Amino acid sequence: MLGSRATIRDVARAARVSTTTVSRYLNKNIVLPDETAARIDGAILALRYRPNVVARRLLKGATEIIGLATPDIGNPFFAELASAVEARAAEHGYSVILCSTGNRLDKELAYLERLASRHADGLLFLTNHGDDGALRRAFESRRNVVLLDEDIKGLDAPKIFVENERGGYLATRCLIEAGHVKIAHISGPRTLFSVQEREKGFRRAVGESGAEVPEAFVLFGRYDREFGREAAQKLLSLPEKPTAIFAASDYLVMGVLDALRQMGLSAPRDVSLVGFDDMPFASLLDPPITTIRQPVRQMGERGVDLLLARIKEGDGPAAPVRLPVVLIERASVAPPATQGRAGGLQARRPR
């Protein structure tokens, strides 16, 4: 057998039984006399036989593999979610194929086809950009799909989201209760479902307070640090400056802090800040950031549960599952400082 891999036929021949007997023994579908079982075990050990797990699974009509498509595995949010998915899938005897798409439509569509060709039983899918209809059309013919975190408009599939609007509301109420009236909002791409819901919560909280939101106080762009810096510089250069900012991502908050340092300002002395996500680094920033915590691990676990129910039983909730969010209060919010001139902040030299 040197130079070639042992087959189930080789094991059967060495053990002096049929291939069917070996197959049923390996699948625990038969109870054999101790002597026969010992011969099979001995042949497997001597020949170093390794069962073809994929072939066995296909014979059963399922691969026991699911796919997870995520925009950026280097992002702590998506990394934690992937970890939860893999752990939950393993509890059910499933493996996970991980696809990092770079948030590119062409890669998302390519991975979708690749997973289909590998006979994955289902797919957990996350995107972080708007859809012009291409994703919806690609998914329409695929039944075992669960959407996480962001929506694909018009797609009839199980979906798990967090309470984005409530998160936006809680973040803004925190700033209002600290005494702020001039509150700005920085967010991601305007076409995103999460962006629209978090803005809605922001506007609802400000509206209930009786204040108004100048359109110059609401900026949309990318969910990244660089846009946070650019947006904060723009806001803090306005004649009428905000005293507080609700940023719809902790990455945006990092950019805001960059801008404050460059302008000789600091939080919360000059500008109070609230983020969204509660990334692992949020408590390590200077100052530690007040933010909205998402139940990331729970999202991954519930996603696996929904997908496996869909695969095995055809089940799927009629309405999206909504997971709760929590306001985590730290040191980035304080009452508005006395302003050095009407409607503006006094810039200080960087320390």
CATH class for the region spanning 65-161+296-323: alpha beta
238/318: higher pLDDT: 238
Buried b (16+ CB within 10 A) or exposed e, 272-290: bbbbbbbbeebeebebebb
Q: What is the mean pLDDT of residues 70-97?
A: 92
CATH number of 164-294: 3.40.50.2300
φ/ψ of residue 130, rounded to 5: -70, 165
Q: Which residues, at least 6 apart from 274, have a Cβ–Cβ distance to it below 8 Å?
A: 171, 172, 174, 175, 244, 245, 246, 247, 289, 290, 291, 292, 332, 333
Beta bridge partners of 145: 123
**If you average pLDDT over residues 134-148, what whole number do you get?**
88
* The pLDDT of residue 72 is above 50: yes
Q: What is the pLDDT of residue 143?
A: 81
pLDDT band at 344 (very low <50, low <70, confident <90, very high): very low
For the stretch 216-242, pLDDT in tens is 999 999 999 999 999 999 999 999 999
Report CA torsion sign: 124, 305, 142, 60: positive
Q: What is the per-residue DSSP string for 187-218?
A: ES-TTSHHHHHHHHHHHHHHHHHT----GGGE
Q: How far apart are CA 82 and CA 100, in angstroms?
A: 10
Q: How far is Cα 183 from Cα 265, in angstroms, rounded to an integer?
A: 17
Domain ranges for the chain = 1-19+46-61, 65-161+296-323, 164-294
Q: What percent of the chain stands above pLDDT 70?
A: 89
- Comparing C-alpha atoms, which of 165, 140, 164 is closest to residue 154? 140
Q: Report the pLDDT value the prediction gives residue 343, as an integer from 0 to 100.
A: 40
Q: 2: pLDDT confidence band, cut at 50, 70 and 90?
A: very low
**What tokens were used for 338?**
């006395």
Mean pLDDT of 138-163: 91
Q: How far is CA 259 from the centre of its chain?
A: 27
> Does residue 115 contact residue 67 with C-beta atoms inside 8 Å?
yes
User: pTM to 2 decimals?
Assistant: 0.80
Classified as helix, coil or strand, 110 is helix
Q: What is the pLDDT of residue 56?
A: 54
DSSP-assigned letter for residue 344? B
Q: Is the pLDDT of residue 50 over 80?
A: no
Backbone angles phi, psi at 322, to 5 degrees: -115, 125
DSSP 3-state of 320: coil
Q: What is the pLDDT of residue 4?
A: 63
Distance (Å, rounded) from C-alpha 37 to C-alpha 21? Answer: 10
Residues 275, 281, 285: CA angle, nearest 5 degrees = 75
The per-residue pLDDT for range 156-165, each reduced to its tens digit, is: 899 999 999 9
d(CA 224, CA 125): 21
Distances from the Cα of 338 to the Cαs of 240, 270, 346, in angstroms?
A: 14, 9, 10
- Tell whether the model's pLDDT for residue 130 goes beyond 90: no
What is the residue-averaged pLDDT of the chain? 88
| Fold agreement between 65-161+296-323 and 164-294 | yes
SS3 assignment for 116-143: HHCCCCEEEECCCCCCCCHHHHHHHCCC
* Structure confidence at residue 315 (pLDDT): 67
User: Three-class SS of residue 247?
Assistant: strand
